[in-house]
Structure 1
Amino acid sequence: MTDHELELPALLGNSPLGFLAALGLLQLTQPLLEQPPRLSWRGPDAPAVLHTHQPLTHQSLADLLARQLPLEDDDLLTVAPGILGLPASGPFGDALRMPVDLALDLLACHAQAERDRSAPTARWFTALVNQLSLETSNKKTAGRPASGDRGDLYTTTTPHFGRTGQMTLAASWAKAADHCRSDSSHLIAALVAWRRVDDYAGANLDHYATGDAHMVSHGKASQRGVPGATWLALHGLAAFRLTGDTTRAQTTSWDHTAPNGALTWPIWKQPLTTTAITALLEHPLVRHPNPDTTKLHNLGVTALYVAHRTRLGQGHGPLQPARRIHPAPTSNDL
């Protein structure tokens, strides 16, 4: 098979937003190409590379991505409709935090659709709605499943999305899509050189989207997110499995032992499909606190990173800038 490479200068492996956006790019292009695209990295702190069976330019790739943008009245998640358009049905104001019985019914329907016509909705549903980690509707006992009545139990959602105030994943998805739909140049900018937008907060995936007052000329704190990269990154959430034992959540690439949680991820040198990437993210060697350098090298992993979640008064804050944990930074990296 012919392998055409397209380097993506803006999607750096040492950026949480860049890493997630590269995963989302793969999720969005896979249904549109005759053969599955693959992803690799030029090396530590280096750009992503898209591998395809047909040659692509940055513009033709951006045009391809634009085909996955929802129309104004369409389902926000065009590759797996029927999830982000659900109505809110609980005390949390978030449709993805639904009664557990409803979640199980929906998952059964999505799984049947996957068996009948290979619909991908079940995979997306389980990446966004965790029916194995439950909270109660009673704020006094939130986070602790109630005994007996399951009607009091609600699902949680992915910790990769940090909720602040009244933010929801669906609303953040809609804002990113709106920006890209109104100005398609955001998509090519996401690939080659990020263009920040005033008063756009992003989805708490990018520390640099939060502008402190002393960093801008007008002297006021502001939001300056990257709509195109954020829209891609939200689709990257499909790569991470949500599991748990009802009382404790587990999520691929998420460190629950950190005070506010942390995203951890590898980059690799060999081109991988979406399925292979999920297998690598879940590999015990990648998740080990003291990884074996030789074994990681044998897996093709060239670096490991971590980005801790910050905390704001109204809830979760953006992910911090990434810190490389393997190989250990040298004096030349500092």
Structure 2
Amino acid sequence: MNDLLPRGVPVQLIDAEGLVRDDDGYAAPSTAALLDGYRSLVIGRRINDQCNALVRQGRLAVYPSSHGQEACQIAAVGALEAGDWLFPTYRDSVAVMLRGVRPADAMVLLKGDWHNGYDPYDHNVAPLTTPLATQLLHAVGFAHAAVLKGENTVALAMCGDGATSEGDFHEALNFAAVFRVPVVFLVQNNRFAISVPLSRQTAAESLAHKAIGYGMPGERVDGNDLAALASVLEVAVARARSGGGPTLVEAHTYRMQAHTNADDDTRYRERSEVQEWVERDPLTRLRAHLTRANLLDASAETAIADEAEAIATELRDALNADTAPDPRALFEHVYASGNPQLDEQYELLRGELERSREDAR
């Protein structure tokens, strides 16, 4: 069973200073992959900054920032093939956008306009979810169905450390292991479930150590090291695709900002702790590595920054436009076919709307 145990120290290929750390078990991604990953990091950080500004302007109802955690999302998307599926959490809007969802559509839930702003089947991305751990069950069920249908599909399910305290987490991992379902569980351990520190959630040596209890391998990785994340997830996805079953990957990262704009994180953590993690920022780390290797110059930085700004502008303009919701749309996606009670309610609403229009005349 020793081959199921994670390492005592998380996998790291590029340290906080941007220096390369050789590893016998995991190969570093290509230069092209690292450059593309850096581009995505810059875009992701700009999206986070823009969404925080939109909250302050009242254009978003709530925003769970992933500032400092972007590398986890970027590596997750990069590990998947076009036909694979991503099952994100509410904090993974950057990953959703990198899978091809328009930024404005990815923000519909957080704006409060609709439950979901995109068709999951257009991008192979499940809806952003606010309940903890429910997406893990969805991922397992989807991947199991793919096996039964003879499809070569891998599902990658993301969650936070708080989700590991939910019963759905246990049920998802247990079923996946028993039936060797092609799914990868990526736990973004950012050390807090809102205000509850990890030490009050589990007594396990690590979250990855929980994997052995289900009979699947677990691995720990530096969640602020994009290179290590990409390599570890690539191995896990390949294992799932080849019929080897699920893997639990724990990414050690940190939530640099409050849980959401409704949270006051100064009540449960010291600023000195946050400052320590500033020095481990995935963006500045990869920039230091690429600059030291003469792979990133000022002109490339400018081009990437301009692209990120264009995406932020598109998002800002879209959310600054007021929407005119149609109350009748409430009835469009409740049942697949007609329902007498719902039809009756719809007719009542339609009559009220017609009377309102007549009164307005």
Query: TM-score, normalised on structure 1?
Result: 0.25
Q: Larger relative CO (CA 8 A, sep 6+): 1 or 2? A: 2
* Structure richer in helix, relative to its length: 2
Query: TM-score, normalised on structure 2?
Result: 0.24
